[in-house]
Structure 1
């Protein structure tokens, strides 16, 4: 569906919302984005503003809002095999294949906190196999190898990310994926491109970015840690290990494809973005695969052949199907898989009217840290619980002030 370009006023509001997110003002950002994402009848307006609002909802609740324009079911004969396919535990399938390579590449949809929770499960499972380097696209990066290495050593020493550690790390689940991975002994590596020159040629821009990322991974992960195995966390198509046809020109060579050619290492590549109801997932396909994952994330096999659907067919090794989200005390059930327990919100933090965001921070972390969890609480409605670990926490609340601007840095 064609999407209108944001007006100057909308662009300004979106910019203020993004700045608010960077400052940790989650509720203000959602308040700014909501009217831009919907028309006068409160119907979704497909476009950038809606996508940003849907993502903001995910940061507040754990589950992003559904897409404004769901993708149709693709034409694929393998869809008929979903009901008879063998559903294998996704973590077991990954561990089995990860033993035969030095690089595992797992992607995510940037709007889906659930994908970061699964990434933590993968990190835990791979650690006994010798995987001890975590290369993360979302970590803030600099051109100097020496300065970048010092930034990563400081992150490891601190043991948790702060708001300046990376844009997507404002998600409490993503921050905890990093926090818990560091505690497991993973050494972080930043590899995002440090060149942000604008280009009118989309394919040239992709080519430049992918090559820069690949070179950083080779230098800062593979060469810097020659005896280590690397878990790479990427977004979307960066995980494709064969060229992907995007338009009429030459197929696009994303990060995994370049690494494979540059190093001779055949990585284990895993997609979890296609089979999902939100973001860039295909909701109609998710409706067919989610029931097969009732007991937890799975990979579907037709005999010994992993089933891969959508735009990644033939481009990745495995594709993960997640179960449908169940809600426990108003929170997504999958948070329990990363060591969380439903915990009542202290009574003195509950609103007498309206809606507020209640946040929990680990007590030993700085004021710039990311919440361990947060929940929207509305007076007169069923109370959600916070999903907390066993560590002591301090609390904070955010009240949305309609129309009040978010302060810019």
Structure 2
């Protein structure tokens, strides 16, 4: 009896893995119905994200530390994915309705048709049906049960280059883990930071990490658009390293960005300085904090402009009535939401993980939105799987019961 309870308890654990450019986050949670209780959040610096062995080694260390801390075996993980190898495609499908009425199988068929892509498009990780059209009637959210002749749908398909997906899976497997599923990182982050009101009105989530700046547009439960820009936090660090009046290493530039960086220029004066070690142990050199803020703000503004251009090209800026929500490590920069507000011309807020029990205050931070969001996503998948299994068990039990009744009837007839 106790063993069964223990096994069931193990099944309730869920795991999220976020492999970024500068760190690996490994999260452990427990499914509690619609809620998730955070058991542990691991934050592990990554020396070289481009080196396969370095990532595997760091991930193995992360697993060992988490397992020792929680005494739980980390196994099936939901893995966040983003970057230049991710593509978002708009596709359409249309089918005839043989019964003259929209059935569940018709909805499945039109979605399948819309998401049938050539192999060159990459591996599909998400399919997001948008609005349906029935004959001449557009903008239908749920067409099931309606009468008509032809059913169409607009679909957003997210794909990943096959070799990128294979390499990421291989990395996770080498560390002794199984991939339960790949999740688009902005989708995961949205699970942790967006409100229902924002989704209903239409909202853009902007996730600025170290390697990429990713944007996703949400309307209700549908993802309308995603885009990844390859300039983000590391680009800001690189600008600081190049543009200050004293040459400094990237590691030092990153430290300066975190300690003295700001996007608020108006409050700074010319003689507001900070010390920077000169090359070759030649003492400290004073650098202008206003210059630092100008360097940072210029790059941040450029990143937001690039993302805003994409919204306008795809005519999405008009449906984002819920504004912009910022997540990611760069949100630690003071005043970044003000820069975003000027560029996008929309209300902007910084998104922090919400609504989870057991989470430490330190992890209610935009930089952990993706990792915490992966637990939300994993929990949803976990519950849907259990519901399907329960439904199957009920169906089997009913069938057996019916057969038993027939046997009894035959026996007494």
The answer to whether the superposition gives a TM-score over 0.5 is no
Structure with the higher helix share, 1 or 2: 2
Structure with the higher strand share, 1 or 2: 2
Q: Which has the larger radius of gyration?
A: 2
User: TM-score by structure 2 length?
Assistant: 0.29
User: TM-score by structure 1 length?
Assistant: 0.29
